[in-house]
Amino acid sequence: MVGYQYRGYRIETRREWSNWCVSIYPLQPDLPIFPRSTLHTLMPQEHDAVKEAKEHIDRILSSLEVRQN
């Protein structure tokens, strides 16, 4: 399993059949936990799966910023 860090989250990738799947975990207690830690997206390329996970994190964090304002 390969891991990346992005905006306070750990993104772990793993191979499922011929595609890549990712799991997202907060690294800090003040960050929101995603309802499902596994992002159910399968991508043929690992970098595409990581990119989608980063976009998912960005969407969640930006929606929280809007609610707070």
Q: What is the pLDDT of residues 19-48, one digit of tens each?
A: 898 989 899 988 887 766 556 667 889 999
Say how many CA atoms lie within 13 Å of 25 toward its Cβ: 7
Q: How many domains does the chain have?
A: 1
User: Is a pLDDT exceeding 90 seen at residue 58?
Assistant: yes
pLDDT at 33: 78
Determine the structural domain holding residue 7 and report its residue range.
2-68
- Residue 18: which region, alpha, beta or left (left: phi > 0; alpha: psi -120 to 50)? alpha
Q: How many angstroms from the chain centroid is the CA of residue 41? A: 10
User: Is a pLDDT exceeding 90 seen at residue 11?
Assistant: yes
Which helix (H) or strand (E) segment holds residue 63: the answer is helix 46-68
pLDDT at 66: 64
Task: List the structure tokens of 38.
Answer: 């596994």
pTM: predicted TM-score of the whole model, two decimal places: 0.81
pLDDT at 67: 67
